[in-house]
């Protein structure tokens, strides 16, 4: 039997961070991944292929839109096989960095197998081996939820795990779910030529976002997509080979479809691990319950990434991996803090989210906060971009509580606010940072102008300076 200092179950972003970090610090490490390649959902089914798809869809959309704008007629049908090859090329290029051989060269024992717990220290692999670990890190990620839909077997079902490897692009798709995955893919597939109908049970899209941002974004999405809110798809009907989705809401509607895309949420991959043998506690959703040090109910077993249900984004899993390495390998007691972790939706325009929303500020602080907004920076005006918008929530001292943006490349030009919030800098410090004119980041610098306008021109200071100038200058 092989004994390890650290066993990592799952070869995604979080698991690879732990395996590489622990091995480089001298620990004896085993990495278990049931698929033939490392990289996890992000590389094979999520972040990488989806952004490659979005980029291709954006290019096609821009060609058509700008051609029409300038009097050109653009015709033709998208070649899905070409786009699929571009997606695979992006995955293959990044896969080289996440190769099995790279981790083996770091000293990691890589096992491509499934694992189940025998007890709190021992794992049985599908290869037949039994291994033991002083510390174990669970990083098995999550999978798409498949909702109960009557007659679902009669139509092609798509999830993020099958989308990028389809042979053909369906003509008519009903997108069940209007979350991040649903809206990113709905918009991209629509731009590639599919007829997309989005169905979501909520009364509003992007409900976790600041309401002002969500409302702006919903209007943008409605320009390109047919959207039914407060509705569900509970069954499909087959009328002589024509498949229809029955959309149940305020009014019942029927939509002919060629495929059903399921994006209603994700569930933690814990079901097959037999964690009860190790005494690891799960919550009602099947996620591993962890403390702020990422320890499960069994102190030497950690859980990071989607499997713990805390922050379902790849960069969050990477940060949790760093904390897990510190605590599992060195016995430190570092705590995971999510307050300064942003997220973004890579729709067009993009959404950026950091910290609390204005609605959350009202609930937590009453009236003890300030909101500053900015829009229409010169670069955006020059590019006829009338959508870009920034909103920041501040405490009374000018520290950033939340920052929210919408616009082209918002995930890039909002990053300076992440640095400022992380470093505890006040919004006024933006005034001392010079941006090359007319960079898109000027929209963020406008926030400092708004702040000073409120602080100076709406206060008694203006009266004092006016009197000083009239008397002494």
Pairing, β 266-268 against β 156-158: unpaired
271 annotated as a binding-site residue: no
Is residue 306 marked as binding? yes
Tell whether 202 is in a known binding site: no
Residue 1 annotated as binding? no
Nearest Cα residue to 41 out of 284, 275, 266: 266
Residue 133 labeled ligand binder: no
**Annotated binding residue at 152?**
no
Find out whether 182 is annotated in a ligand binding site: yes
The sign of the torsion formed by the CA atoms of 408, 412, 413, 419 equals positive
Q: Is 193 annotated as a binding residue?
A: no
Q: Going by C-beta distance under 8 Å and a sequence separation of 6 or more, which residues neighbour residue 31? A: 8, 11, 15, 16, 19, 38, 103, 108, 109, 110, 111
140 is in an annotated binding site: yes
Asked whether residue 183 is marked as a ligand-binding residue, the answer is yes
184 is in an annotated binding site: yes
Q: Is 138 annotated as a binding residue?
A: no
**Residue 162 CA, distance from chain mean position:** 19
Written as six digits, the tokens of 120 are 């709190």
> Where is the binding site for FAD, in residues?
51, 140-142, 306
> Where is the binding site for NAD(+), in residues?
177-184, 265
> Where is the binding site, in residues?
51, 140-142, 177-184, 265, 306
């Amino acid at each position: 039997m092989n004994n390890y200092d650290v066993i990592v179950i799952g070869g995604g972003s979080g698991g690879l961070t732990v395996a590489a970090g622990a091995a480089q610090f001298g620990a004896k490490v085993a990495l278990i991944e049931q698929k033939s390649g490392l990289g996890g959902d992000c590389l094979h089914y999520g972040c990488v292929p989806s952004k490659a798809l979005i980029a291709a869809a954006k290019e096609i959309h821009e060609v058509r839109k700008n051609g029409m704008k300038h009097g050109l007629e653009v015709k033709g049908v998208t070649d899905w096989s070409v786009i699929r090859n571009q997606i695979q090329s992006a995955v293959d290029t990044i896969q080289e960095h996440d190769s099995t051989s790279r981790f083996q060269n770091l000293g990691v024992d890589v096992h491509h197998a499934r694992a189940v717990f025998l007890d709190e220290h021992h794992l049985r692999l599908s290869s037949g081996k039994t291994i033991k670990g002083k510390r174990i890190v669970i990083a098995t990620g999550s999978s798409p939820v498949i909702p109960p839909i009557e007659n679902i077997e009669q139509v092609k079902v798509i999830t993020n795990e099958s989308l990028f490897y389809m042979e053909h692009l369906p003509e008519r798709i009903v997108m069940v779910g209007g979350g991040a995955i649903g809206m990113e893919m709905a918009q991209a597939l629509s731009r590639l030529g599919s007829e997309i109908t989005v169905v979501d049970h909520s009364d509003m899209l992007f409900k976790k976002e600041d309401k002002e941002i969500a409302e702006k974004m919903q209007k943008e999405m409605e320009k390109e997509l047919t959207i039914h809110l407060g509705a569900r798809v509970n069954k499909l009907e087959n009328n002589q080979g024509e498949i229809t989705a029955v959309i149940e809401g305020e009014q019942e509607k029927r939509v002919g479809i060629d495929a059903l895309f399921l994006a209603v949420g994700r569930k933690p991959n814990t079901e097959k691990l037999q964690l009860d043998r190790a005494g690891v506690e799960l919550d009602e959703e099947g996620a591993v319950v962890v403390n702020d040090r990422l320890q499960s109910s069994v102190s030497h077993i950690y859980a990071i990434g989607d499997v713990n249900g805390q922050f379902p984004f790849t960069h969050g899993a990477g940060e949790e991996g760093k904390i897990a390495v510190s605590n599992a390998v060195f016995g430190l007691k570092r705590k995971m803090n999510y307050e300064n972790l942003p997220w973004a939706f890579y729709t067009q325009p993009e959404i950026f989210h950091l910290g609390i929303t204005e609605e959350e500020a009202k609930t937590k602080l009453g009236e003890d906060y300030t909101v500053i907004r900015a829009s229409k920076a010169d670069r955006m005006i020059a590019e006829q971009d009338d959508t870009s918008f920034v909103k920041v929530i501040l405490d009374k001292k000018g520290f950033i509580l939340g920052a929210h943006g919408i616009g082209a490349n918002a995930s890039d030009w909002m990053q300076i606010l992440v640095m400022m919030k992380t470093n505890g800098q006040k919004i006024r410090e933006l005034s001392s940072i010079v941006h090359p004119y007319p960079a898109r980041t000027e929209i963020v610098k406008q926030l400092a102008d708004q702040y000073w306008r409120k602080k100076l021109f709406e206060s008694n200071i203006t009266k004092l300076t006016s009197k000083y100038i009239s008397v002494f200058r």
